[in-house]
Amino acid sequence: MYSVFIVDDEIIVREGLRSKIDWEHSQFTFAGEAGDGEIALSMIQDIKPDILITDIKMPFMDGLELAQTVKKLQPWIRIIILSGHDEFDYAKRAISIGVEDYILKPFTLDEMLACLTKVASGLDKQKQQFTDIERMKSELESNFMLSREKLLSDIVLGMMDSGTAVQKASDFNINLVARYYIVSVSLINSKDNNINELTAAKSHILRLSSTEEDTVGFFLAPNTFVSIGKNGVKEQCEDRAFNFADTIQHELSKNTGCTILTAIGPVIDHITQIANSFQEASRILKQFRFSDKNRIIGSNDIHEPNDGSIVLQENDPLVDRLNYADESEIDQIINEYIALLGENPDHFSIIASYLLVDVIMAVSKVIEELGGNIKEVMPEILTHSFVDNAVQNEDKFISEIKRVLTAVLQYRNAHIQGRYADVILRAKKYIDRNYADPDICLHSTAEAVNFSPNHFSTIFSQECKTTFIEYLTGI
């Protein structure tokens, strides 16, 4: 539907057009009318019609002057001139202004409808051309983004040398040259895989990424976001990675129902080592991928065994998960173990025994890291009778593992969570000693425990279940 505005100082012409055109059953709507150009101009600016029909000869402002002004203010409007003068000068001037058609008075209804239909056809073509152009632009942008994502994927997967990476990245206005690099991998989760929530989260992340200095981000998969950070200072490289991850987490928590798990790889000093940082971040993410909580984990946050023990190395994923897991995640951990049992009842007790020993070793390691001794905290789980009793059947197996995991998490919580117990303790002592100092802040406290502010902020909030500011103001 196209709206039509009529301007003519002859009321009979205006009434004729308004009453005789069957607006209801046509592709046009009547937008309004005016008796002179000056009144019409202000009305047109408010109504913004698609088509203007105007007489030439009118008081105050004639039709050609009105047409010229309207074309400057609202160039999309199509204009039809009405005139009682078949003069070449009028027609020539009308064409120079950009008038669509020129009708001589008197005219018939059919002539006017034919003229309006012709103008509408031109508008239809213009709309189609605009749609085609927008589609082409969208396709080009899509191809550009796909090519960009392919390039960045190749870089983080280590599939090209540094020279090629720098050269190809420059084609996408990406400057990869820097002293240090760091890769973060984020997994976005939505309850019930809500597509609208995931789409909104993706939009927020891309917006934040586009404005983040010295950071290049892309989606490696629909719910997996990868960012490459670069900096001239090693400490700042890691600090900015934590800051960016925290910003994304805050944005998604505030605006969507999604959670985000971010793993940050180690800082490296060569483009070809970007793949190494990516692999380490991916390894960390894999260990915690079943978590449904917001979490940021750096490569230095993961405990690595140094005694060469194969058993402990294999148990590392569970050890690290128990350092951060909530009690609400226990059922998820148990379900993963149940899935490993298979459906063969003949092998149940054998496989369950191996899995239970894995759990006992992991629990023992967590308690040891917290300064405890498994023989004092849970001595009963070290006995053969405990294992034999727990693997009698699946229900008993689930019950005993749940009891053990619940106990170790409660022990962990009572002794300050995770491997950063000493860091948190030193930070709290620093706050107690310097609370009266008006300059005490996140930066000064982080410096006191030898951490970057953003990394310390992340650790503090995850370990203490409150932000640094909330803790400080709550004392």
pLDDT tens digit sequence for 241-292? 999 999 999 999 999 989 999 999 999 999 999 999 999 998 888 777 666 6
> Would residue 193 count as lying in a domain?
yes
Q: Look at the chain and report how many structural domains it folds into.
A: 4
- 206 band by pLDDT with thresholds 50, 70 and 90: very high
Of 86, 108, 128, the last residue of a domain is 128
* Residue 474 pLDDT greater than 60, yes or no: yes
Most confidently modeled range among 249-253, 302-306, 334-338, 412-416: 249-253
Predicted pLDDT of residue 314: 37
Predicted pLDDT of residue 315: 37
Phi and psi dihedrals of 373, rounded to 5? -135, 125
Cβ atoms within 10 Å of 262's Cβ, excluding its own: 28
Q: Can you give the residue range of the structural domain that contains 450?
A: 421-474
Of 414, 441, 466, the last residue of a domain is 414
Task: Indicate the helix (H) or strand (E) that contains 400.
Answer: helix 394-414
Phi and psi dihedrals of 216, rounded to 5? -115, 125
> Would residue 144 count as lying in a domain?
no
Phi and psi dihedrals of 286, rounded to 5? -60, -40
Q: Where are the alpha helices (DSSP H) in 289-393?
A: 310-324, 330-341, 348-369, 374-377, 384-390
d(CA 53, CA 271): 65
Same domain, 405 and 432: no
Tell me: cis bond preceding 317? Omega within 30 of 0 counts. Answer: no
Report residue 12 CA to chain centroid gap.
60
Report the chain's mean pLDDT, rounded to a whole number. 84
> Would residue 220 count as lying in a domain?
yes
d(CA 331, CA 348): 20
Same domain, 405 and 435: no
Over residues 163-196, the pLDDT tens digits come to 999 999 998 889 999 999 999 999 998 877 788 8
d(CA 84, CA 103): 9
Task: Indicate the helix (H) or strand (E) that contains 243.
Answer: helix 234-255
CATH code, domain carrying 427? 1.10.10.60
Over residues 350-394, the pLDDT tens digits come to 778 878 888 898 898 888 877 788 888 999 998 878 888 898 888
Over residues 2-56, the pLDDT tens digits come to 999 999 999 999 999 999 999 999 999 999 999 999 999 989 999 999 999 999 8
Place of tokens 């650790």: 459
> Would residue 150 count as lying in a domain?
no
57, 44 in Cβ contact below 8 A?
Answer: no
Of 112, 128, 144, the last residue of a domain is 128
Place of tokens 């031109």: 122
Place of tokens 């008993």: 396
Predicted pLDDT of residue 193: 76
30-62 burial, b if ≥16 CB within 10 A, otherwise e?
bbbbbbbbeebbeebeeeebbbbbbbbbbeebb
Same domain, 168 and 287: yes
d(CA 470, CA 457): 12
> Would residue 134 count as lying in a domain?
no
Predicted pLDDT of residue 316: 47
The SS3 assignment for 359 reads: helix
d(CA 134, CA 130): 6
383, 390 in Cβ contact below 8 A?
Answer: no
